[in-house]
Chains A and B, each alone.
Chain A
Amino acid sequence: MAVGTAEILDAFAALSAVSWTDPADFREALAATIAKSQEDRQVFDLLFERFFFRAAEAGALEHQIREQRDEGGDRLDLEQLREAIREAIAQGQEGQMRDAARLAIAAFGRRGEGSGVVGVDVQRIRRTLGLQISGRDAEGEESRLERQQIQAFERHLRRELERALIERTQAMPPARPLAELDRALPTSPTQDLAAVHRAVAQLKRRLATLGHEQRGRKRASAVDMRRTMRASLETGGVPLRLKYRPKRPRRPEIYVLCDVSTSVTSASMFFLSVLHALHDSFRKLRSFVFIERISEVTEVFERERDFREISRKISQEGGVADVSGYTDYGRVWLEFIEQISEDLDPRSTVIVLGDARTNGREPHADVFARISERAGRTFWLNPEPRLYWNYGDSVMAAYERHCDAAFECWTTKHLENFVNVIAGGKPVVE
């Protein structure tokens, strides 16, 4: 979360405009000025809760205030509790719902049923309370609850449990997707999606302006009347200088093929994040994932914004024909060229993300050669160190010959390197 001085100034300006006594206003005002995306907002909510919860607790200790316990609190039996909670949920008041969630956790915590895993506890409590989504159960009319209401209650439960967990362990739960990304990589310099996005944004600019001047026939450019006339005003209305329509830099068309087989499991999270970032920057991008066969996932990226959702969707419904789990590069090339050969032209760029391990199958380097011949440029990003290339079943050499360039790539640093090199710069890493 990037919070700079500007955000802090804004936050204080905003706070001076709202009343401090209304917790909702206070929180929203801070959120509007500090959290600038939905992900930020989640982090913000967690932090806000934690900070003010702790501040309140600390204040309470200092002033010797204890929570007023209900007289019959301990004797409240499950049936009564169930009723009370159900009522709170039905009414849908935030405050009541939170109290109910705390009550439920306290009740079940006392019975020693806490497993320490938030998700498990939520489900357990829900089951014990017998909360059912309205349907055709034996329940009476009044006790039927809307799915949304139950979800809201679950959110409260989750939040309270998380808070309890934070309190107990004195540590923030790790931000999961990023942590996973980290662990998944051979070496783990701090990676994050943002860094990948930055590198890809650079890549966009480079690709858009690179080498197009020399490509294609030189066509006569059209005179831009409007700009010619405008320029003529400096010379008293006599068009001395002709202005031409600028030749639009052609939009690069990019085809990305991404290996998601088991041999690159460690790198595929990284590759998916690269794909995700590419989709943010390029409109004309088609992406494919492959193991044994190829499958287009462009649409998944176009429809989904959330990275976690995307990786889930691709792994579940990517439609990757994964019979053996072993990559078959030869077959992938054949299918690729069959699917889109007519779309490939000199202005397209093909980027392959994969380890070139064929599992002993026919590599079909000739087909790959045909692909790279048709495409303007072909790059290969290999998640293995260069040292391992061509050992075992890796046939990198056979493919590298047909690529404009091949790079080792498993960190954002490598990605930046790739961007730099193709832009004619110097490599950042050796």
Chain B
Amino acid sequence: MTDHEQTSVPEVKAALEGAGYLADESAALVSYLAQELGKPVLVEGPAGVGKTELAKALSRATGRSLIRLQCYEGLDESKALYEWNYRKQLLRIQASEDESWEDIFAEDFLLTRPLLEAISSSEPVVLLIDEIDKTDQEFEAMLLEVLSDFQISIPELGVIEARTHPIVVLTSNNSRELTEALKRRCLYLWLDYPDVDREIEIVRLHAPELDDRLARRLVEVINMVRQLDLKKPPSIAESIDWARALLLLGAHDIDRAMFERTMSIIVKHRTDIDLVAERVGVRLAEEGKYRLAEGA
């Protein structure tokens, strides 16, 4: 794999688009800066606006492979950084009876976990640290060495420095405030739901057979739903799913009946479904009448 360097903001934007991701100005600029400055990017925003997708698209656009570390509560260094392969070490000791076994703390016995793998890879990679806000603050502290110096200190072995410079993307759903120390080491990018036109483009990119009018209608309805006070507002991925579902069903318009049949694709909470059916369903019905009247 070769590293496709992009040397200006529009180029980055075009490359991301080629990878199936329509970035807005700031996302393109920050991605560009991340490559230029070699700094990690902290992406925050509501769930489902394409934070993780940005990292995946970056990996496709740059031709680097993606290494992903999914964070969860209780994630520790033996799962994120490295671990000694003690079985292999034991075997070595037993196999080499009386000879010296001083060398069992060598790289051969090291099990690489995502972070170590990312910095010791001979090809440059994209490292995605997903949902960093799910971990404890202590874990953030552990990341600092990797993020600022791209190195990992292993007590028995010494410091392992990065052979290549990875692009690091951290995502957070903003469920808690991250520490200042972590933020200081990152570029910051806030992703929000895209505006109507951009979302239409995104939907059309992923469901090209959908006709323009229906795509606009779909995004408008999605926006209507997002404005309600829901437990989980529909994400971009769900807009796309819905578009594909409508295609499959051969829908020509989103009227109340169609909406109620397919609503479960975009709304996934018992209480939300009731609320949406009530508010949006009624509004669609009214609009339907209005349109009929207009046509007459």
- Cβ-defined contact, A35 with B188, below 8 A: yes
Is the C-beta of B26 less than 8 angstroms from some C-beta in chain A? yes
Q: Is B79 an interface residue (CB 8 A)?
A: no
A38 to B189, CA, bound (A): 9
Q: Does B273 contact A (CB under 8 A)?
A: no
Q: In the docked arrangement, what's the CA distance between A36 and B174, Å? A: 12
- Contacts A36-B42, A38-B190, A148-B196 given; indicate if A6 touches B90 (C-beta within 8 A): no
Are B39 and A10 in touch, CB under 8 angstroms? yes
Q: Are A25 and B9 in contact (CB under 8 A)?
A: yes
Chain B residue with Cβ nearest A197: B177
Interface residues on A, range: 35 or more
Known: A146-B196, A230-B84. A280 touches B177 (CB 8 A): yes
How would residues 4 to 28 of chain A score, 1 for a CB under 8 Å from any chain B CB and 0 otherwise? Answer: 1011001001100110000011001
- Whether A41 sits at the interface, judged by CB under 8 Å, is yes
Contacts of A303 in B (CB 8 A): 231
Does B25 lie within 8 Å of A24, measured CB to CB?
A: yes
Is A132 interfacial (CB-CB < 8 Å)? Answer: no
Type the 1/0 row for B26-47, where 1 means its CB is closer than 8 Å to any CB of A: 1001101100110100101000
Q: Which residue of B lies closest to A146 (CB)?
A: B196
B235 located at the interface, meaning its Cβ lies under 8 Å from any Cβ of chain A in the complex = no
- Summarize B's interface: helix, strand, loop or mixed: helix
With a CB–CB cut-off of 8 A, which chain A residues contact B187?
10, 14, 32-33
Residues of chain B within 8 A of A226, CB atoms compared: 86
Given the complex of chains A and B, what is the CA–CA distance between A40 and B290 in angstroms?
Answer: 44
Are B196 and A233 in contact (CB-based, < 8 A)? no
| Interface status of B163 (Cβ within 8 A of chain A) | no
Cβ-based interface call for A305 (8 A): yes
- Closest Cβ of chain A: how far from B198's Cβ, in Å? 11
Least Cβ–Cβ distance between B185 and chain A, in angstroms: 8
| Contact status A14-B37, CB under 8 Å | yes
Docked-complex contact A236 and B26, CB < 8 angstroms: no
Q: Are A29 and B93 in contact (CB under 8 A)?
A: no
Known: A33-B187, A148-B223. A13 touches B37 (CB 8 A): yes
Q: How far is the CA of A346 from the CA of B94 in the complex (A)?
A: 49
Question: Quick check: B33 and A17 within 8 Å, CB to CB?
Answer: yes
A283 an interface residue at 8 Å Cβ cutoff? yes
Q: Mark B64-92, 1 if CB is under 8 A from A, else 0.
A: 00000000010000000000101101100
Q: Are A37 and B137 in contact (CB under 8 A)?
A: no
- Whether A148 touches B33, Cβ cut-off 8 Å, given contacts A2-B180, A201-B137, is no
Does B104 make an interface contact (CB < 8 A)? yes
Q: Does B107 contact A (CB under 8 A)?
A: no
CA distance A383 to B176 in the complex (A): 27
Verify A36–B30 contact, CB threshold 8 A.
no
Asked if B278 is at the interface of the complex by the 8 Å CB criterion, the answer is no
State whether the Cβ of A195 lies closer than 8 Å to any Cβ in chain B: no
Bound-state Cα–Cα, A31 to B26, Å: 9
Of all chain B residues, which has the CB nearest A236?
B93
For residue A229, CB closer than 8 A to chain B, the reply is yes
Cβ-based interface call for A168 (8 A): no
How long is the Cα–Cα vector from A14 to B38 in the complex, in angstroms? 10
Cα(A33)–Cα(B104), bound, Å: 43
In terms of DSSP, what is the predominant structure of the interface of chain A?
A: helix
Separation in Å of the A3 CB from the closest CB of chain B? Answer: 10
Check: B132 CB closer than 8 A to any chain A CB: no
Q: Which residues in window 148-186 of A have CB below 8 A to B?
A: 148
The answer for the CA separation of A2 and B183 in the assembled complex, in Å, is: 10
Contact A237 B93 (CB under 8 A): yes
**Contact call B223/A28, Cβ cutoff below 8 A:** no
B 164-192 to A, binary, CB cutoff 8 A, 1 in contact else 0: 00000000001111001001111111100
Given contacts A38-B44, A237-B90, contact A32 B29 (CB under 8 A): yes
- Specify which chain A residues have a CB less than 8 angstroms from the CB of B30 in the assembled complex: 28, 32
Query: Which residues of chain B have C-beta atoms less than 8 A from A38's C-beta?
Result: 44, 190
Chain B residues, CB < 8 A from A13: 37
A18 to chain B, nearest CB (A): 7
Query: What distance in Å separates the Cβ of A187 from its nearest Cβ neighbour in chain B?
Result: 26
A6 in complex: contacting residue of B25, B184, B231, CB < 8 Å: B184
Q: Which residues of A contact B101 (CB under 8 A)?
A: 236
Residue of B nearest to A232 (CB): B90
Contact A18:B9 (CB < 8 A) given known A10-B39, A146-B196, A305-B174: yes
Which residues of chain A in 279-312 are interfacial with respect to chain B, using CB atoms and an 8 Å cutoff?
A: 280-281, 283, 303, 305
- Within 8 Å of chain B (Cβ to Cβ): is A127? no
- Which residues of chain B (110-133) have a CB below 8 Å from chain A? none
Question: What is the CB-to-nearest-CB distance from B92 to chain A, in angstroms, rounded to a whole number?
Answer: 9
**Chain B residue with the shortest CB-CB distance to A299:** B231
Chain B, residue nearest A276 (CB): B177
* B188 to A, closest residue via Cβ: A36
- B188: which of A6, A37, A230, A280 is its contact (CB, 8 Å)? A37
The complex places the Cα of A216 from the Cα of B32 at a distance, in Å, of 55
Q: State whether B180 touches A280 (Cβ < 8 A).
A: no
Q: Which residues of A contact B183 (CB under 8 A)?
A: 36-37
Once the chains are docked, how many angstroms separate the CA of A201 from the CA of B181?
14
Contact B42 A233 (CB under 8 A): no
Interface residues of B in 183-223 (CB under 8 A from A): 183-190, 195-197, 223
- What are the 5 A-B residue pairs with the smallest beta carbon separation, nearest first? A17-B36, A36-B183, A237-B93, A32-B187, A28-B29
Q: List 6 A-B contacts (CB under 8 A).
A: A6-B184, A14-B36, A18-B32, A148-B195, A230-B84, A230-B89
* Interface positions of B (Cβ within 8 A of A): 9, 25-26, 29-30, 32-33, 36-37, 39, 42, 44, 73, 84, 86-87, 89-90, 93-94, 101, 104, 137, 174-177, 180, 183-190, 195-197, 223, 231, 290
Using CB atoms and an 8 Å cutoff, list the residues of chain A in contact with chain B.
Answer: 2, 4, 6-7, 10, 13-14, 17-18, 24-25, 28-29, 31-33, 35-38, 40-41, 92, 136, 146, 148, 197, 201, 226, 229-230, 232-233, 236-237, 280-281, 283, 303, 305
Additional A-B contacts beyond A10-B39, A31-B26 (5; CB < 8 A): A2-B180, A7-B184, A37-B188, A38-B190, A148-B196
